[in-house]
């Protein structure tokens, strides 16, 4: 069923409000010196720092202000949802995606917020604080890239529309994870060869697909929903698609599996994806 004009306008307005929140979270991250960020390992052996916690607090405060009735599933508080009932609309949040990149002094880390509706990411906003960029998209409303300037909100209102590109007959470009590249993804890329592999950290890989720089991004190993939901929404809004490894629609809200998906492939050209995945 197509969205009504009123629903589209509401989602556009919400994307604007979420943009304000990722700006606040970005400022919180940039206020932390990566060399003195109180880094430590969580129970799952992934790193967390004072920057993650500051961004998490800024996002929670913002979401409670603009949408207090909508549940928030955040990487830094996912355990809070153990045993609770999840409704058909909720936020998925990664306050600092690419903590390892941040702690290493690299620029490839992001702040991710997605609104999931009926199991599908409907709105996504991603900020790259160190790069000064924001990407956002909403279903049936398109996607755009904006300039991020902390303390200058007017500067982010003038965005440039972005679109994915058709599957090239040659000179294809694939994003590969800088920190989590897996053997199954390696085998997948051999299927779509010839392809140039471009290492990249965090959800930036989705953003580069959405703006037509990258053609495909495979991650055929388990990953968390908050890592990919915002990127999924932006890629879809820009004309691309994200599928399960078998080529089916990717569903979100898998509380019984601790909000984990078994893997995915993200594509700039949805038709080419369906053809290749069979």
DSSP label of 43 = T
Q: Which of 52, 58, 73, 65 is nearest to 23 (CA)?
A: 58
Q: Which of 222, 219, 200, 225 is nearest to 267 (CA)?
A: 219
Q: What is the pLDDT of residue 192?
A: 92
Q: What is the pLDDT of residue 1?
A: 46
Q: What is the pLDDT of residues 236-270, one digit of tens each?
A: 999 999 999 999 999 999 998 999 999 999 999 99
Q: Average pLDDT of 145-172?
A: 82
Q: What is the pLDDT of residues 176-222, one digit of tens each?
A: 987 778 889 999 999 999 999 999 989 999 999 999 999 999 999 99
What pTM does this model have? Answer: 0.94
Cβ-in-10-Å burial (0-12, 13-18, 19+) of 120 comes to middle
Q: What is the pLDDT of residue 87?
A: 80
Q: Average pLDDT of 219-241?
A: 97
User: Can you tell me whether residue 187 is helix, strand or coil?
Assistant: helix
Q: What is the pLDDT of residue 156?
A: 54
Separation of alpha carbons 264 and 216, rounded Å: 11
Half-sphere exposure of 65 (CA within 13 A, CB side): 10
Q: What is the pLDDT of residue 227?
A: 96
Q: Average pLDDT of 135-163?
A: 82
Paired with 126 in beta bridges are 112, 135
- pLDDT confidence band for 158 (50 / 70 / 90): low
Q: What is the pLDDT of residues 114-143, one digit of tens each?
A: 999 999 999 999 999 999 999 999 998 999
- Give pairs for 251-254: CB < 8 Å, separation 24+: 251/119, 251/120, 252/92, 252/116, 252/119, 252/120, 252/121, 252/225, 253/86, 253/90, 253/116, 253/119, 253/225, 254/225
- pLDDT confidence band for 93 (50 / 70 / 90): very high
Q: What is the pLDDT of residues 23-46, one digit of tens each?
A: 999 999 999 999 999 999 988 888
Q: What is the pLDDT of residue 204?
A: 97
Q: What is the pLDDT of residue 140?
A: 85
Separation of alpha carbons 162 and 231, rounded Å: 14
Q: Which domains does the chain have, with CATH numbers?
A: 5-161 (3.30.540.10), 172-277 (3.40.190.80)
- CA-CA distances (angstroms) from residue 3 to 6, 18, 33, 84, 135? 8, 20, 44, 29, 22
Q: Is the pLDDT of residue 233 over 70?
A: yes
């Amino acid at each position: 069923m197509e969205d009504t004009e009123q629903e589209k306008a509401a989602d556009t307005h919400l994307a604007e409000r979420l943009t304000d929140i990722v700006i606040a979270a970005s400022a919180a991250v940039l206020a932390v010196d990566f060399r003195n960020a109180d880094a430590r390992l969580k129970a799952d052996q992934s790193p967390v720092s004072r920057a993650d916690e500051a961004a998490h607090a800024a996002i929670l405060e913002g979401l409670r202000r603009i949408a207090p009735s909508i549940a928030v599933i955040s990487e830094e508080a996912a355990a809070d949802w153990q045993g609770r009932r999840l409704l058909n609309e909720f936020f998925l949040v990664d306050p600092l995606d690419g903590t390892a990149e941040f702690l290493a002094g690299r620029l490839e880390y992001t702040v991710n917020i997605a609104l999931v509706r009926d199991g599908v990411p409907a709105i996504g906003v991603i900020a790259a604080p160190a790069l000064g960029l924001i990407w956002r998209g909403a279903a049936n409303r398109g996607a755009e890239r904006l300039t991020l300037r902390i303390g200058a909100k007017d500067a982010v209102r003038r965005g440039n529309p972005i679109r994915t590109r058709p599957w090239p007959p040659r000179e294809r470009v694939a994003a590969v994870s800088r920190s989590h590249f897996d053997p199954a993804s390696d085998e997948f890329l051999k299927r779509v060869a010839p392809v140039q592999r471009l290492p990249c950290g965090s959800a930036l890989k989705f953003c580069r697909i959405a703006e037509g720089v990258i053609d495909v991004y495979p991650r055929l190993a388990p990953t968390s929903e908050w890592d990919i939901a915002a990127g999924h929404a932006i890629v879809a809004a820009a004309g691309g698609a994200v599928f399960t490894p078998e080529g089916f629609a990717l569903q979100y809200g898998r509380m019984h599996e601790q909000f984990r998906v078994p893997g995915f492939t993200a594509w700039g050209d949805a038709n080419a994806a369906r053809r290749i995945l069979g």
